[in-house]
Amino acid sequence: MSEQNQSRNSDGRDFPWQHVIGFILSIVLTLLSLWIAFKTSLSTGMIMAIIIGFAFLQAAVQLFMFMHVTESEDGRFQMWNMVHAFIAFVIIIVGSIWVMSFGMSYMNHM
Amino acid sequence: MNHHVDHFFVKGDPMIYAADLMIIMTTLAVIFVLTYYKKWKWLWNEWLTTVDHKKIGIMYIIAAVLMMFRGGVDALLMRAQLTVPNEDFLDPQHYNEIFTTHGTIMILFMAMPFIIGLMNVAVPLQIGARDVAFPYLNALSFWSFFTAAMLFNLSFVIGGSPDAGWTAYAPLAEPELDPGVGQNFYLLSLQISGFSTLATGINFFVTILKMRAPGMSMMKLPIFSWSILVTSAIIIFAFPILAIALALMTFDRLFGAHFFTLTGEGLPMMWANLFWLWGHPEVYIVILPAFGVFSEVISTFSKKRLFGYKAMVWSMVLIGFLSLIVWVHHFFTMGAGPDVNSFFSISTMAIAIPTGVKIFNWLGTMFRGRIQFTTPMLWSLAFIPCFTIGGITGVMLAMAAADYQYHNSYFLVAHFHFVLISGTVFGCIAGLLYWYPKMFGHMLNEKIGKWAFWLFVPGFLICFLPMFFLGLDGMTRRVYTFSNSHWTDLNVIASIGAALMGIGFMVLVYNMIWSARYGKRDKTGDPWDGRTLEWATPTPIPHYNFALIPRIKRLDEFWYVKQNNEPSVLRSLPVSKLKPIHMPNSSGRPFVMSWLFFIVGFAAVFYVYWVAALALIGVLVCMGLRSFEIDDGHYVSVEEIKRTEKNRIKEA
Ligand code: HEM
Ligand SMILES: [Cu+2]
């Protein structure tokens, strides 16, 4: 691992443009979502759809700009990591919604 | 702050005064011994700052055995209270606190550290590595677990213990129904130790994937290390869920949020859902490593390679996956619809299939083997029938419709103790006895060991078998007393069994003390005639583990090298090949940082936020210092390696 880091740093201590761009993109995406939720009069379903879309974009920004998914010498691990993350996502989020759905009518008055 | 500080010291109970006194006396005794024998420096240099996985493993195990004692005392108190009807030895509040701390300590501060201790000792050695992937993080994991355990235990004498069960169900555990600070102790100490476990999971996942000796493909990985790989994957899945759930409830309690409260649109059932999303995988986190231990032990003492190694691996992977999709079987009665309950009923039962495969593999390994009845082997043999009982009753519980009858009865209590004790506890003990000579350089006395076994295991059966019948007869769980005199006989029997287990545990500990002085010293490093790489290292193990990293050609490499007298660096070291070895430096920072965590937790428990904030800044400063630190480790010289390994050196 250390060798890989060295080769990346050796071509100069140039400015971490990737990180800055990623940072700005994340902030912009977050602000955009806030704006859409608070300031537009779209239907709730529409707002949800757009925000979820932004969330995926944001996740991609994180993975590529900060977490170096493309830089590993062994992409297989990265792929398994993402599969693991995806399974976790489905089980936790989708599973919880399904299991808890019987009580959700209670939330109608929200 | 305010009124909570008035109740700072728990007053009015003689048992707690006794505990106060014991804590003070023990602390003074420790300080005295360390000062008198001038051991402070040694303690700091050799232990408190170490990043050596073997020493960290030993510290984990010592802490786990101490916690087993604490949890065991709680258990005996509960059994004492429930021996005869209408007893008033413990009042209801005290009883609630005891079963809460018993459950929490046994699962999180006994089983978890015991297993993490064993994996620390064995995994890097088994895979032919010099250390874990992140040694500094490993030290941080240990110390933050340790301080979290201290924080939790402190609740007994300061502030008051949590009393809402180890499951801490909302809304019961929320401030309206549970004022006082006990539940805060639960939330914050679990948060810190959960962080530590997650770090360990990541550490070992990377270690096993990245640091195996050359040639050790996944299908040549020793089975215990395989079990730890699957366990680490489950940890990485499950522990973030716990962290979030605890954080949400902490917000409820400390900052007046309403995630799980009855008021303010809270969703109390969501706590049960999140808790078991972590909680069920958690029981597999503590059982799979035990399966790994049994596989190693049974194969070693049957003098045969593990029967159906591949089936074992795949069944563990499958169990690992299935363990993630069965959590609802803990609350079939919550009110979810038939579709939800059916799905989780079937997925739960499906786990019995790979588990059954494993049982047949263990039996197959012993079949026509030359079985040696050593103490680790005895514990492994006892595991098989006991665990089968636990598994079968588990399938009974898994039928959602029938569970309406068994739910929250003593039948459940009997079931999960059958799986947890015969699986996890027997596994931890078997692993400890098995690796003991490797860890400490001497054998345990087999005769005393057999006494411990023959007290503990029958004690366990006498204690828990009657509970199945009590449960079927209607005795419910978490009651502090009962008045039905039909239940007296079985309860008396159960209490006798519990006492036998207590005596067995004491004999086990006595064996360690006895053997430290008189036990047979082991200089070979391979007293059991082992199969895997850890037995190829000399004892005491040099801190760099392997002077030369072996090249692996098959499963159980060391065994075949020995059998066929093959030349290999596992047996002798050609001097010409030795090179300086790079090792990480010790560091005191994980120790300091973890005590800062402790202060954060302790202050937050009492709502003293400015202290918590200061300590948290201290933590951040430690992290900052670490990130600017240039620490390239150090080299062990060839001279030193030669001196350490002089018995194994081959001039050539
Ligand atoms: C053959 C596999 C297993 C099956 C089918 C099974 C099934 C179940 C079911 C259905 C329950 C819930 C019962 C109720 O609340 O009414 C339960 C509870 C429990 N099981 Fe298992 N189980 C299995 C293995 C294990 C293992 C390996 C462990 C731990 C090492 C374990 C630990 C527990 C614990 C601690 C509880 C009680 C939780 C509580 O406090 O409510 N089980 N089991
Ligand atoms: Cu479960």
| pLDDT tens-digit readout, B350-406 | 999 999 999 999 999 999 989 999 999 999 999 999 999 999 999 999 999 999 999
Q: Give the Cβ contact number of residue B372 at 10 Å.
A: 13
Contact status, residue B600 vs residue B195, Cβ threshold 8 Å: no
pLDDT-derived band at A13, boundaries 50, 70, 90:
low
| Any atom of ligand 1 within 6 Å of the Cβ of B282 | no
The letter for the amino acid at B62 is I
Of B97, B108, B82, B86, give the one whose Cα is nearest residue B15.
B97
pLDDT-derived band at A78, boundaries 50, 70, 90:
confident
Question: Residues B508-517: pLDDT tens digits?
Answer: 999 999 999 9
pLDDT-derived band at B169, boundaries 50, 70, 90:
very high
Distance CA B245, CA B478 (A): 23
CB atoms A99 and B267 under 8 Å = no
Is the pLDDT assigned to residue B2 strictly greater than 80? no
Of B476, B483, B475, B480, give the one whose Cα is nearest residue B95.
B480
Is the pLDDT assigned to residue B562 strictly greater than 80? yes
What mean pLDDT comes out for the span B296-316?
95
Beta bridge partner(s), residue B650 = B574
CB atoms A88 and B274 under 8 Å = no
Ligand 1 atom nearest to CA at B409: 16
CB atoms A91 and B274 under 8 Å = no
| Any atom of ligand 1 within 6 Å of the Cβ of B354 | no
What mean pLDDT comes out for the span A61-80?
78
CB atoms A102 and B270 under 8 Å = no
Question: Residues B288-305: pLDDT tens digits?
Answer: 999 999 999 999 999 999
Q: Burial level of B295, CB count in 10 A (0-12/13-18/19+)? A: buried
pLDDT, residue B363, reads 95
pLDDT-derived band at B274, boundaries 50, 70, 90:
very high
The letter for the amino acid at B119 is M
Question: Residues B190-215: pLDDT tens digits?
Answer: 999 999 999 999 999 999 999 999 99
What mean pLDDT comes out for the span B17-29?
83
Ligand 1 atom nearest to CA at B286: 30
Of B79, B76, B75, give the one whose Cα is nearest residue B490.
B79
The residue with tokens 């065991």 is B72
Tokens of B151: 């924080």
Distance CA A25, CA B237 (A): 28
Q: Which helix (H) or strand (E) is B635 found in, with range?
A: strand B634-636
What mean pLDDT comes out for the span B113-122?
97
Is the pLDDT assigned to residue B189 strictly greater than 70? yes
pLDDT, residue A9, reads 44
pLDDT, residue B521, reads 93
Task: Look at ligand 1, atom 15, and give the residue with the nearest C-alpha.
Answer: B330
Task: For CA atoms B87, B89, B93, B94, give the dihedral sign.
Answer: negative
What mean pLDDT comes out for the span B459-485?
95
Is the pLDDT assigned to residue B452 strictly greater than 90? yes
Which of A91, A99, A102 has the CB atom closest to B324's CB atom?
A: A91
Ligand 1 atom nearest to CA at B348: 5
Contact status, residue B241 vs residue B265, Cβ threshold 8 Å: no
Q: What angle do CA B162, B167, B173 make, to 5 degrees?
A: 50
Percentage of chain B lying above the pLDDT 90 cut: 83
Q: What angle do CA B282, B287, B289 make, to 5 degrees?
A: 110
Contact status, residue B156 vs residue B104, Cβ threshold 8 Å: no
CB atoms A103 and B325 under 8 Å = no
Is the pLDDT assigned to residue A104 strictly greater than 60? no
Question: Residues B172-186: pLDDT tens digits?
Answer: 999 999 998 999 999
pLDDT-derived band at A15, boundaries 50, 70, 90:
confident
pLDDT, residue B352, reads 93
Half-sphere exposure at residue B113, Cβ-oriented, CA atoms within 13 angstroms: 30
The contacts of residue A81 (CB under 8 Å, 6+ apart) are none
3-state SS class at B468: helix
Beta bridge partner(s), residue B573 = B649
3-state SS class at B409: strand
What mean pLDDT comes out for the span A65-81?
76
| Any atom of ligand 1 within 6 Å of the Cβ of B359 | no
What mean pLDDT comes out for the span B300-316?
95
The chain-wide mean pLDDT, for chain A, equals 79
Residue B185's alpha-carbon distances to B110, B147, B241, in angstroms, are 17, 12, 19
pLDDT-derived band at B652, boundaries 50, 70, 90:
low
Tokens of A46: 């529409």
| Any atom of ligand 1 within 6 Å of the Cβ of B286 | yes
The chain-wide mean pLDDT, for chain B, equals 93
The letter for the amino acid at B485 is S
pLDDT, residue B195, reads 95
Is the pLDDT assigned to residue A8 strictly greater than 70? no
pLDDT-derived band at B278, boundaries 50, 70, 90:
very high
Contact status, residue B159 vs residue B606, Cβ threshold 8 Å: yes
Whether A104 contacts chain B with CB within 8 A: no
User: Which residues 74-93 of A are in CB contact (within 8 Å) with B?
Assistant: 77, 84, 87-88, 91-92
Within 8 A of B207 by CB-CB distance, chain A residues are none
pLDDT, residue A10, reads 42
Q: Give the Cβ contact number of residue B523 at 10 Å.
A: 11
pLDDT, residue B444, reads 96
Q: Burial level of B549, CB count in 10 A (0-12/13-18/19+)? A: middle
Which of B209, B233, B277 has the CB atom closest to A84's CB atom?
A: B233
The span from the first CA to the last CA of chain A, in angstroms, equals: 51
Higher pLDDT, B199 or B631: B199
ipTM attached to this prediction: 0.85
pLDDT, residue A109, reads 44
pLDDT, residue B31, reads 86
pLDDT, residue A105, reads 53
pLDDT, residue A79, reads 81
B interface with A, Cβ–Cβ below 8 Å: 209, 233, 236-237, 241, 265, 267, 269-270, 273-274, 277, 324-325, 328, 335-337, 340
Distance CA B341, CA B142 (A): 39
What mean pLDDT comes out for the span B106-134?
96
Cα B419 to averaged position of ligand 1 atoms, centre (Å) = 8
Tokens of B639: 């001279």
pLDDT, residue B433, reads 97
Is the pLDDT assigned to residue A2 strictly greater than 70? no
Q: Give the Cβ contact number of residue B32 at 10 Å.
A: 10
pLDDT, residue B3, reads 55
Tokens of B187: 């939330």
The residue with tokens 């539940």 is B183
CB atoms A110 and B270 under 8 Å = no
Tokens of B632: 């390239």
Is the pLDDT assigned to residue B66 strictly greater than 70? yes
Identify which of B106, B415, B426 to mutate to test ligand 1's pocket (most ligand atoms within 8 A of the CB).
B415
Identify which of B104, B105, B169, B283 to mutate to test ligand 1's pocket (most ligand atoms within 8 A of the CB).
B283
pLDDT, residue A6, reads 40
Strands B573-574 and B649-650 come out as parallel
